[in-house]
Chain A
Amino acid sequence: EDQVTQSPEALRLQEGESSSLNCSYTVSGLRGLFWYRQDPGKGPEFLFTLYSAGEEKEKERLKATLTKKESFLHITAPKPEDSATYLCAVQIDRGSTLGRLYFGRGTQLTVWP
């Protein structure tokens, strides 16, 4: 059974305290791994797509990496405005379900001043 697991469920950081969020996946035929940010009461906001092991992408204080079994979202010197729920999702190569995303339950990040 395909699974996407995110850890930790919740993370509290002091402003400036760098850390990493984990997304592990057990799927066959990975086509892409996506990271989203979701603020309360809003829809998920796209951050990154990673396609193959070894790939890295950066945006401001965020850096996403991918291996054959997991992805990390590294947050460097976070600020309070980085507080949100971060979602990981995968798209797999499986016939008619080609387009759908399989989501993890997310990591709720709180950054306090």
Chain B
Amino acid sequence: GAGVSQSPSNKVTEKGKDVELRCDPISGHTALYWYRQSLGQGLEFLIYFQGNSAPDKSGLPSDRFSAERTGGSVSTLTIQRTQQEDSAVYLCASSLRAGGTPYEQYFGPGTRLTVT
């Protein structure tokens, strides 16, 4: 079956511009996660959505970052007024659910964001 897809695969933007990154999770997965991977750093949690519950935004680094998930499926991560330190690979993952037995998370290919 289809895996997690992300678009665009690469995005180059100028400092100060806004960007939107999209994630299509695996069909039937109720939990969706965003992570960030910077050069030489581990994966850093940003935000996750579980069904209709309020999202866990505890990992968002600043109020320039926001995310939404429409219809329990597609998610968009928005970064406003981008800064050079925002340059990283943004990874989306989905799993069957977040609570109960810990389910494995399946990752998309990522969006490489470069802020010039």
Interface residues of A (CB under 8 A from B): 31-32, 34, 36, 41-46, 49, 51, 87, 89, 91, 96-106
Q: Give the residue name and chain of the B residue nearest to A4 (CB).
A: B42
Q: How big is the B interface, by class?
A: 20 to 34
> Which of B41, B56, B99, B108 contacts A43, CB < 8 Å?
B108
With known contacts A44-B91, A99-B50, A100-B45, A51–B106 Cβ distance under 8 A: no
- A91 touching B102 by the CB < 8 A rule? yes
What residues of A have a CB within 8 angstroms of the CB of B59 in the complex?
100
CB distance from A89 to the nearest CB of B (A): 8
Chain A residues contacting B35 (CB-CB under 8 Å) are 101, 103
What are 10 sample pairs from A and B whose C-beta atoms fall under 8 A apart? A34-B104, A41-B109, A43-B109, A44-B91, A46-B106, A87-B42, A89-B43, A99-B31, A99-B48, A103-B42
> What are the residues of chain B within 8 A of A49 when measuring CB–CB?
102, 104
Among A46, A87, A101, A103, the one with the most B-chain Cβ atoms within 10 Å of its Cβ is A101
> Is B98 an interface residue, CB under 8 A from the partner?
yes
Q: How far is the CA of A103 from the CA of B45 in the complex (A)?
A: 9
Q: A45 touching B56 by the CB < 8 A rule?
A: no
